[in-house]
Chain A
């Protein structure tokens, strides 16, 4: 469980990025942190594995304050995939990149091999096993970064903007394995602007603006409230925009994904005919 209690954080430059955050994330939850650029989303999640320590208040991971534990120790349970893969990739081959943390955590050789194969396969980068991460495209590097974290099977997985540079099929795969990880009782936290991606996943959302949490709730409530979204520089999903404009015909206004939208329209058309 992650507990955030009256968290304030001020960068050395004097910018107060977080202004009193209170939040509890239970084991096995799937949470999307959304909000405008500079709202403090990345700053907040960097507290979850101790990369940043609170200026005031505290962050507890399974009851232990992040102030009292090293990042190395926290990382075993809380994996963090950076927004920019170039901030975390450095090895000569994709394979070595993925094996690196496993070696550091002291896994046995056989386990390392198995986990590397599993992660390569999961992220569809097996063919690049012997390639330098820096020869890959932006989207592929992003997947390697993800694979290197998933390989050691942390309990909590934080993904900062995981859909950047990913095409539609990769996004669908990403969605599937996030849901799969979540089904395995992993806590998954994504920081994202990608409303269409969130709409298809339907997680709990916290909407941030200017260092504070504006609202905390389910996707179907939050993504269908244009006034709320506007305050956080988010645009409703296209399906929601369509349904909001058809509200006068008595259609529901809390629709965010294509499947449900189609179902509602078909039912409506059948009723009438």
Chain B
């Protein structure tokens, strides 16, 4: 079942001469784990802003085409109505943190939903724990490191348990182990709670294990749309500059030199199995 559907979506920021996204027609199903990727400046963040109504309601500008999110026509609904269904973790955590303690920041969205106090307490503790920052609950967010702030931003959106979660490079400031933990948390939310995930990410080596749907944009348009394997193994992906996993690149280089592995590997696991196979038969 589609939870996000766009048809010929085109958007131009106020004062801009060129649209930032052009004729975007995509369908995202409920429970999908989507990676949205493409060269920097390709319109990923702009598209995400359409998913929660920041475009057109906050940014104004000119929106053409159709977009429906969680059954709501975005153009006809206010941001706060859409926010009930869609949580957004910004690229720059400083843009969304403002309270004097981590705990208050995480509770803010729930307060606005008028959640009973006991339940709010539980939710806040749960999301702090999920994000691995329980011990920071009393600290002021602006004194934390970039990586810690990113976890607070994730916790504050997690707390609301939205139907759809958009995360714009949510792990860019995190160390690899920290990033992996966050991806695992996101995957768990996806599996257990059925939350639809839209992850904007360049670090596909890390993220490709988790997604079932990859959308690649270039110059405002959707240029590739399919499963991780379909995308990473396509020649177009390489040309556009998508960060295909190193394992897949090694496969391509081996192929150029006449060594053919049975299938195209994306994960470490698959590569190890495939290489064992050829090395054994050599």
Query: Which A residues have a C-beta under 8 Å from some C-beta of B?
Result: 13, 35-38, 42, 83-84, 86, 135-140, 161, 164-171, 193-196, 230, 232-235, 237-239, 241-242, 245-246, 249, 258-259, 261-262, 265-266, 268-269, 272-273
User: Is the CB–CB distance between B176 and A164 below 8 Å?
Assistant: no
Residue of A nearest to B242 (CB): A168
> Which chain B residues in 149-182 approach chain A with CB under 8 Å?
169, 172-180
Q: Which of B145, B147, B247 contacts A242 (CB 8 A)?
A: B247
Q: Which of A83, A170, A266 contacts B259 (CB 8 A)?
A: A266
**In the complex, A258 Cα to B256 Cα: how many Å?**
13
Scan B17-45; emit 1 where CB is below 8 A from any A CB, else 0: 00000000000000000000111110001
**In the complex, A171 Cα to B242 Cα: how many Å?**
11
Beyond the given A167-B40, A262-B254, please list 8 additional residue pairs across the A-B interface where CB-CB is below 8 A: A37-B148, A138-B45, A193-B174, A196-B246, A249-B276, A259-B253, A265-B259, A269-B278
User: Is the CB–CB distance between B40 and A83 below 8 Å?
Assistant: no
The answer, yes or no, to whether B234 is at the interface (CB within 8 Å) is no
Residue of B nearest to A269 (CB): B282
Q: Which of B173, B243, B247, B250 contacts A83 (CB 8 A)?
A: B173
**In the complex, A83 Cα to B145 Cα: how many Å?**
11
Task: Tell me what chain A mostly uses at the interface: helix, strand, loop, or mixed.
Answer: helix
The answer, yes or no, to whether B8 is at the interface (CB within 8 Å) is no
User: Is the CB–CB distance between A268 and B243 below 8 Å?
Assistant: no
**In the complex, A165 Cα to B147 Cα: how many Å?**
14
User: Is the CB–CB distance between A234 and B178 below 8 Å?
Assistant: no
Q: Which of A13, A138, A170, A237 contacts B246 (CB 8 A)?
A: A237
User: Is the CB–CB distance between A268 and B94 below 8 Å?
Assistant: no
Q: With a 10 A CB-CB cut-off, give which of A138, A140, A268 has the most chain B CB atoms.
A: A138
Quick one: given A138-B45, A261-B250, A272-B282, are A245 and B173 in contact (CB under 8 Å)? no
CB-defined contacts of B276 to chain A, threshold 8 Å: 246, 249
Quick one: given A166-B40, A167-B202, A242-B272, are A235 and B176 in contact (CB under 8 Å)? yes
CB-defined contacts of B16 to chain A, threshold 8 Å: 135
Q: Which of A42, A194, A262 contacts B250 (CB 8 A)?
A: A262
User: Is the CB–CB distance between A37 and B145 below 8 Å?
Assistant: yes
CB-defined contacts of B249 to chain A, threshold 8 Å: 258
CB-defined contacts of B278 to chain A, threshold 8 Å: 269
The answer, yes or no, to whether B6 is at the interface (CB within 8 Å) is no
**In the complex, A35 Cα to B175 Cα: how many Å?**
7
**In the complex, A270 Cα to B243 Cα: how many Å?**
30
CB-defined contacts of A36 to chain B, threshold 8 Å: 175, 177-178
The answer, yes or no, to whether B193 is at the interface (CB within 8 Å) is no
Residue of A nearest to B95 (CB): A86
**In the complex, A38 Cα to B282 Cα: how many Å?**
47
Shortest distance from the beta carbon of B251 to any chain A beta carbon, whole Å:
9
CB-defined contacts of A258 to chain B, threshold 8 Å: 246, 249-250, 253
User: Is the CB–CB distance between B279 and A249 below 8 Å?
Assistant: yes
Q: Which of A165, A235, A242, A249 contacts B91 (CB 8 A)?
A: A165
Q: With a 10 A CB-CB cut-off, give which of B91, B176, B179, B205 has the most chain A CB atoms.
A: B176
CB-defined contacts of A245 to chain B, threshold 8 Å: 268, 272
The answer, yes or no, to whether B96 is at the interface (CB within 8 Å) is no
The answer, yes or no, to whether B92 is at the interface (CB within 8 Å) is yes
Q: Which of B143, B173, B272 contacts A164 (CB 8 A)?
A: B173
User: Is the CB–CB distance between B242 and A167 below 8 Å?
Assistant: yes
Residue of B nearest to A36 (CB): B175
**In the complex, A169 Cα to B282 Cα: how many Å?**
35
Q: Which of B145, B169, B243, B254 contacts A138 (CB 8 A)?
A: B169
